[in-house]
Amino acid sequence: MSNPLLFLATVMIWGSTWIAINYQINVVDPAVSVAFRFSIAAAILGFWCWFRKLPLRMPLETHKKLILVGILFYTLDYSFLYAAQHHIISALLALLSSSVIYINVVLRRVLLGKPMRLEVVIGATFGLIGIAMIFIPEFEAMSVNEGLTVGLLFAAASFLSAGVGNVVSEKILDVGTPVIQMNFWAMSYSLIFTFGFAFISGASFTLPTVASYYYALLYLALFGSVLAFGAYMKLLQQIGSDKAAYVVLVYPIIALAISTLFEGYQWTILSAIGVIVVLFGNAVAMGKIALFMRKNAVLNT
Per-residue pLDDT in tens (0 to 9) along the chain, 301 residues: 788 899 999 999 988 887 788 788 778 888 888 899 999 999 999 999 999 999 999 999 999 999 999 999 889 988 888 788 777 766 667 767 777 888 888 888 888 888 888 888 898 899 888 888 887 776 666 555 656 778 888 888 998 999 899 999 999 999 999 999 999 999 999 999 999 988 888 888 888 888 999 999 999 999 999 999 999 999 999 998 888 888 888 888 888 888 787 767 778 898 889 889 988 888 888 776 655 455 555 445 5
Give the pLDDT of residue 257.
82
- pTM equals 0.85
- Domain residues for 154? 3-299
How many domains are contained in the chain? 1
C-alpha 137, offset from chain centre: 24
DSSP string, 175-216: TT--HHHHHHHHHHHHHHHHHHHHHHTT---PPP--HHHHHH
